């Protein structure tokens, strides 16, 4: 008991230590969030601060949720999400499986493979725009080298058909290492004795893969998928630099629509409602994500 009498009590220390973080988050995250909610019920425009602000009730929410045009960005986002997750999971798992063979120098190669995911997405988008240049770009050259197509006959970023795939390719290039790293941790968490027991039971390698490896790595794959899902749902920087949502609006993901509404058309009220809807969606995903995190942790 004498312990507690000296200096500050544990209770005081706890609050003293947590309060600054909470204050920062309240000031920079929660207060602005509440402000967004308030703005979403008005016709406020940030480029006309002196204009009269009129309350419009839930009009913005109704118009967003019933407007068929809003489904364009939602579909673009869903297409982007689906294919990036499928490709990154397949390639990432395959890579992890190979690296888990523990060949000589696997640490060195793993570090090299990880480099793309550490880079700035905006800078990555910018230099891939250079690689994707028709005629002079390296990407078109390599494709034409292997397929014999004219390098100037297709534009990865300018064609309505190819642009959605152009952003998927760059995202997959960048983030496959992420999925690989998490899958590798999953593979390494499987204790050897389980395989030994399976070997004693004469289970084929194929059987071992489906009934031991995959089920035991699955929680890790889920974790990677959810994290990539949340990140790509918010995707802005890389795609903004590559296509800015074009051509037309074929690669206009939700965040790019939001930026156009808020910072180009200056429909602040409308954009705020859109932001709240996106936030609720991400928050739902985040909730699932944290449950998955805890499931993996308790392993």
Partner 1 sequence: MSAVTSRGISTAHSVVEPTAASRWVAGVLVALYAFITLVPLVWIVLTSIKSPPDSISYPPKVTFSPTTQGYCNLFTTRSRQTPEYIAALPPSEDSCERIARANNMVVVGQSNYVARFVNSLIIAFGSTALSVILGTMAAYAFSRFKVPGKDDLLFFILSTRMMPPIAVAIPIYLMYRELGLSDTRLGMILLYSAVNVSLAVWLLKGFIDEIPREYEEAAMVDGYTRLQAFRKVVLPQATTGIVATAIFCLIFSWNEYAFAVLLTSGSAQTAPPFIPIIIGEGGQDWPAVAAGTTLFLIPILVFTVLLRKHLLRGITFGAVRK
Give whichever of 127 and 160 is closer to partner 1, judged by the CB atom: 127
Minimal distance in Å, beta carbon 167 to partner 1? Answer: 15
Give whichever of 168 and 275 is closer to partner 1, judged by the CB atom: 275
Minimal distance in Å, beta carbon 140 to partner 1? Answer: 9
Minimal distance in Å, beta carbon 278 to partner 1? Answer: 5
Give whichever of 7 and 57 is closer to partner 1, judged by the CB atom: 7
Quote the CA–CA distance of 200 and 208 in Å, as a whole number.
12
Give whichever of 18 and 62 is closer to partner 1, judged by the CB atom: 18
Give whichever of 8 and 160 is closer to partner 1, judged by the CB atom: 8
Give whichever of 20 and 68 is closer to partner 1, judged by the CB atom: 20
Minimal distance in Å, beta carbon 250 to partner 1? Answer: 19
Give the Å distances, CA to CA, from 276 to 152, 260, 271, 295: 43, 16, 9, 29
Minimal distance in Å, beta carbon 67 to partner 1? Answer: 18
Minimal distance in Å, beta carbon 203 to partner 1? Answer: 11
């Amino acid at each position: 008991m004498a312990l507690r009498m000296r200096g500050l009590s544990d209770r005081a220390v706890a609050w003293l230590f947590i309060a600054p973080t909470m204050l920062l988050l309240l000031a920079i995250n929660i207060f602005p969030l509440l402000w967004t909610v308030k703005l979403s019920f008005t016709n406020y425009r940030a480029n006309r601060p002196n204009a009269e602000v009129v309350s419009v009730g839930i009009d913005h929410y109704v118009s967003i949720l019933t407007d068929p045009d809003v489904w364009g960005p939602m579909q673009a986002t869903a297409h982007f999400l689906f294919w990036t997750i499928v490709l990154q999971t397949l390639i990432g798992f395959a890579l992890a499986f190979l690296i888990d063979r523990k060949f000589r120098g696997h640490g060195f190669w793993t570090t090299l493979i990880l480099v793309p995911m550490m880079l700035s997405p905006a800078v990555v988008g910018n230099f891939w725009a250079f690689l994707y240049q028709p005629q002079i770009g390296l990407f078109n050259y390599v494709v034409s080298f292997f397929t014999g197509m004219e390098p100037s006959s297709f534009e990865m970023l300018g064609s309505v058909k190819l642009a959605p795939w152009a952003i998927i390719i760059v995202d997959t290039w960048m983030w496959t290492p992420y999925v690989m790293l998490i899958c590798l941790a999953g593979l390494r968490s499987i204790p050897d004795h389980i395989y030994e027991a399976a070997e004693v039971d004469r289970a084929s390698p194929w059987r071992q893969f489906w009934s031991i490896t995959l089920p035991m790595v699955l929680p890790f794959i889920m974790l990677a998928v959810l994290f990539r899902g949340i990140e790509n749902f918010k995707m802005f920087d890389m795609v903004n630099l590559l296509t800015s949502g074009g051509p037309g609006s074929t690669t206009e993901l939700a965040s790019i629509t939001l930026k156009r509404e808020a910072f180009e058309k200056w429909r602040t009220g409308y954009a705020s409602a859109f932001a709240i809807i996106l936030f609720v969606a991400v928050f739902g995903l985040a909730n699932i994500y944290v449950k998955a995190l805890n499931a993996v942790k308790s392993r």
